[in-house]
Amino acid sequence: MNTVEAGRSAPVPTAVVTGGGRGIGYAVAAELLRNRCDVVLVARDRERGEAAQRSLAASAGASARLVVGDLSGVRTVRATAEALREACPRIDVLVHNAGLWPSRRTLNEDGLEQAFVTNHLAPFLLNHELEPVLVASAARVVQVGAGLYVKGKADPERTPAGLDFHPVRTYADTKLCNLLLVPLFAGRWRDTGVTINAVHPGVIRTGLGDRGGPLGYLLKVVKLLWKSPEAGARPVVRLALAEEVAGLTGRYFELEQERPPAPVATDTALAERLWDQALELTGLNRTPPPVRDDIAGP
């Protein structure tokens, strides 16, 4: 993998990682720091974020910055975006890693199911809120996906409020919603230099989906056989930095191999419907993106 080369004259890339306090997000942040990036962690919990900063400084030999941000509601996602704009005059890499796999249906302050917001609506809104900064830097956006999307079913009438909630399938449903919109963002940003790709990093041993009780104990035992967060970080960082994937956009990767999405993720009519719904739920208007003239296509 070709990574960022050291050099006084080369600008230091700024990389934002949501859910950077633990798991894959933490491992991605560590690898980006080793590649001489200015890393900004987005973490909901300040104490956990500060602990991650200290640990990264010790293990990666470089300091990450912290933005405390809550991706559980429209209002708080907007506040997170504002904090990121203040902290980051430029963003070269945006890694949407934060995710939620709830065991029960929980509605947020907007009346929306929590996983639908965190896994799907938050990346959508952040992309729009940060769009001028992304365009100015011709950024790479990397969406950390999940292979379980193939088991998902996106129902615009039921999924947003969790009317079809299931302790396993809802995670797949919301990850499918998110993946369906990747090609639409790629089309939106076609003439701006911004790229977006999704990646399934493998079956990774993190705290995602942890449960209590006998089932939770069994899951922890099974997870001992899964790959480490460091292994899951590698394909994510490759999309963020590697020269061989520069310019690719709207693609889906399983580890480091590009794959065609399963048919369930290629329903363009459903994708358009989810896009329009997301605009409505977040109070956004359907507007064209800003164009960076010096890199615009024909």
Q: Which residues are catalytic?
A: 171
Residue of 77, 84, 50 whose CA lies nearest to 64: 50
Q: What are the Cα distances from residue 284, in Å, to 46, 94, 126?
A: 29, 20, 12
Long-range contacts: 257-263, Cβ < 8 Å, 24+?
261/179, 262/149, 262/150
Q: What are phi and psi of 20, to 5 degrees?
A: -85, 5
What distance in Å separates the CA atoms of residue 174 and residue 155, rounded to the nearest whole number?
A: 10
Annotate 219-266 with DSSP letters as a single string: HHHHHTTSBPHHHHHHHHHHHHH-GGGTT--SEEEETTEE-PPPGGG-
Residue located via tokens 């990646």: 199
Q: Is 92 helix (H, G, I), strand (E, B) or coil?
A: coil
Instruction: Specify the length of the chain in residues.
Output: 298
Instruction: Find the Cα–Cα–Cα–Cα dihedral 79, 85, 86, 90, rounded to 10°.
Output: 160
Task: Determine the residue type at 248.
Answer: L
Dihedral sign from CA coordinates of 6, 21, 228, 118:
negative
